[in-house]
C-alpha cells in the first residue's frame, strides 16, 4: 500500500481525493498496490461534512512517518513552502500543483529532494491537465528548445473567449470563471498575467537550462481590454489571447506575457475557454504543440495523480537537472511584428499624416473611430525598441491625448 497525505482540500485537493476514489480499482490493477489517502489538511473542519475522519487541521498528521507521498495543493507560498521542505527533509516524495511555489523556490526544493533521495514532482503546476513538465524533462530532453509560445492561464482565456464569442462583459465572465473553479483565490494573479508569467518562468527555466525568474518577465494582463479592442480584432480576422512567449537566441532570452492578436483560424485562435495551448520549437522535433484543459478540478487532479503513478512506477532516485544559474530575460521583442494602435486625438488628419511618416502602414480602420475621436491602424514594426522610439516621437506631438497598442503576430497563422 502507498500512503498519501494531502495538504489542502480546495478545488484541486478535493479533485485528487475524488479521482483516487473513483478510479481506485483501475489504479490498483495498474500499479499492483492500493493508493490510500491517510489524511487531508484543511484550515477549518466546520466547513466540511463529507470527508469524515480523513480531515485534520494538524499538519503533522499529514506530514507523518506513515505517509509515503505528500501532495501540496494549498496554493500560495506560505505555509506551503515550509510544509514541503519539512516533508522532503522527512524523506517523503512531494507532489505539488503550486506554480507560485515552484516559480519562487523550485530549484531549492529540487535540490533538497535530491539531497534526501526523494522526488519533487510538479506536473500540475503548468498547463493543468496537459502533460508538459515530464515531456520537457524526459521525452523532449534531446532537443535544444529555442522558443515557447503558449496560452498558460485558463481563467483569462475563458474570459477573453466569453467576451469575444458571447459579448459577455469582463466582470461577468470573471465571476463565471471563479464559480467554475478556474481562478486563483486572488484572481488578480490571473488577470494581471502573473500566473502565466510564473508558468512561463517554469517552462523557460526547463527549456533553456537557465533560471528565468518570473519577476524579470515583462507582464501585461487583460484588464485594459475593452469591447472596442475585441471589435477591431474581429475586423482584422483576429482573436485576442493572453500569450506567454519566450525565445532564446545567441544574445539571450526574451520573455513576456501580453495580450496579442492572433489569427482566428490559427492554432492559438482556436483554443477557447479554460483550454491551454503550449507550442515549442526544438532543433530535432521541430514544432510541437500541446493542447488541453489548463484549469479546473479534475484536469488538474489528473496531472497530480499522474505524478503519483510516476513515483510509484518509476522512482528509483533519479532526478532532473537542477538549474540555479540565472540570466535576466530581455523585455523587448526583437523580431518584426505589427501593432494595432488606437490613438486618441482631436485632429485625426494630423495624426494620420504623422503615422504615415513614421511607420509602414498595413491598414487604417475607419468604421466608428471618427465618432470616438480615435485613429485606429495596424502598423509594421521592425523590433519593439524601434517601435517604442517611434511611439515616443508620435506621443510628443501636441495633438495626441493617448495611445493604446496591441501586438499582432502573423506567425501564428497555421
Ligand atoms: N488560475 C489558474 C488558471 C489555474 O486559470 O489557469 C490553473 O493553474
What are 20-63's pLDDT values in tens digits? Answer: 999 999 999 999 999 999 999 999 988 887 656 899 999 999 99
Ligand 1 pocket at CB < 6 A: 128, 153-155, 182-184, 190, 195, 294-295
Q: Whose CA is nearest to atom 7 of ligand 1?
A: 295
| pLDDT, tens digit, 9 for 90 and up, residues 232-288 | 999 999 999 999 999 999 989 999 999 999 999 999 999 999 999 999 999 999 999
Q: Which domains does the chain have, with CATH numbers?
A: 2-128+299-314 (3.40.50.720), 133-294 (3.30.360.10), 337-409 (3.30.70.920)
**Cα–Cα distance between 87 and 391 in angstroms, integer?**
52
Residues of the chain with pLDDT under 50: 316-320, 412-414
Residue length of the chain: 414
CA nearest to 260, candidates 157, 355, 119, 131? 157
| Per-residue confidence (pLDDT) for residue 264, from 0 to 100 | 96
Q: Grid coordinates 498558460 are at which residue?
A: 152
Q: Cα of 181 to ligand 1 centre, how many Å?
A: 9
Task: Tell me what pLDDT residue 320 has.
Answer: 47
Cα end-to-end distance, the chain, whole Å = 48
Contact 262, 237 (CB under 8 A): no
**Does residue 340 sit in helix, strand or coil?**
strand
Ligand 1 centre and the CA of 278: distance in Å? 14
Q: How far is the CA of 184 from the centre of ligand 1 (A)?
A: 6
Amino acid at each position: 500500500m502507498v500512503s498519501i497525505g494531502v495538504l489542502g482540500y480546495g478545488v484541486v485537493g478535493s479533485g485528487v481525493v475524488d479521482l483516487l476514489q473513483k478510479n481506485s480499482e483501475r489504479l490498483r490493477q495498474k500499479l499492483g498496490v492500493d493508493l490510500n489517502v491517510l489524511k487531508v489538511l484543511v484550515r477549518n473542519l466546520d466547513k466540511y461534512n463529507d470527508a469524515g475522519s480523513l480531515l485534520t487541521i494538524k499538519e503533522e498528521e499529514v506530514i507523518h512517518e506513515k505517509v509515503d507521498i505528500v501532495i501540496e495543493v494549498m496554493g500560495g507560498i506560505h505555509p506551503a513552502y515550509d510544509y514541503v521542505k519539512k516533508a522532503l527533509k522527512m524523506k517523503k516524495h512531494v507532489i505539488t500543483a503550486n506554480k507560485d511555489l515552484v516559480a519562487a523556490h523550485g530549484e531549492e526544493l529540487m535540490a533538497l529532494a535530491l539531497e534526501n533521495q526523494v522526488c519533487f514532482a510538479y506536473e500540475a503546476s503548468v498547463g493543468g491537465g496537459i502533460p508538459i513538465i515530464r515531456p520537457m524533462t524526459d521525452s523532449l530532453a534531446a532537443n535544444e528548445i529555442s522558443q515557447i509560445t503558449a496560452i498558460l492561464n485558463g481563467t483569462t482565456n475563458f474570459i477573453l473567449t466569453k467576451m469575444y464569442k458571447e459579448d459577455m462583459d469582463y466582470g461577468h465572465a470573471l465571476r463565471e470563471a471563479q464559480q467554475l473553479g478556474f481562478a486563483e483565490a486572488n484572481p488578480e494573479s490571473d488577470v494581471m498575467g502573473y500566473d502565466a508569467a510564473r508558468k512561463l518562468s517554469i517552462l523557460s527555466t526547463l527549456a533553456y537550462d537557465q533560471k528565468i525568474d518570473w519577476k524579470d518577465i515583462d507582464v501585461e494582463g487583460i484588464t485594459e481590454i475593452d469591447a472596442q479592442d475585441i471589435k477591431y480584432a474581429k475586423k482584422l480576422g483576429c482573436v485576442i489571447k493572453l500569450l506567454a512567449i519566450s525565445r532564446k537566441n545567441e544574445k539571450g532570452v526574451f520573455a513576456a506575457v501580453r495580450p496579442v492578436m492572433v489569427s482566428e483560424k490559427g492554432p492559438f485562435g482556436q483554443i477557447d475557454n479554460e483550454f491551454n495551448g503550449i507550442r515549442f520549437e526544438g532543433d530535432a522535433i521541430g514544432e510541437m504543440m500541446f493542447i488541453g484543459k489548463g484549469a479546473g478540478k479534475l484536469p488538474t487532479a489528473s496531472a497530480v495523480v499522474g505524478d503519483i503513478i510516476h513515483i510509484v512506477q518509476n522512482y528509483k532516485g533519479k532526478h532532473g537537472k537542477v538549474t540555479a544559474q540565472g540570466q535576466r530575460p530581455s523585455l523587448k521583442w526583437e523580431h518584426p511584428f505589427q501593432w494595432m494602435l488606437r490613438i486618441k486625438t482631436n485632429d485625426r488628419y494630423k495624426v494620420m499624416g504623422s503615422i504615415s511618416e513614421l511607420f509602414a502602414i498595413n491598414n487604417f480602420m475607419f468604421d466608428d473611430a471618427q465618432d470616438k475621436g480615435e485613429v485606429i491602424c495596424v502598423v509594421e514594426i521592425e523590433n519593439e525598441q524601434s517601435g517604442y522610439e517611434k511611439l515616443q516621437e508620435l506621443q510628443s506631438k501636441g495633438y495626441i491625448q493617448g495611445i493604446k497598442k496591441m501586438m499582432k503576430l502573423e506567425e501564428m497563422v497555421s
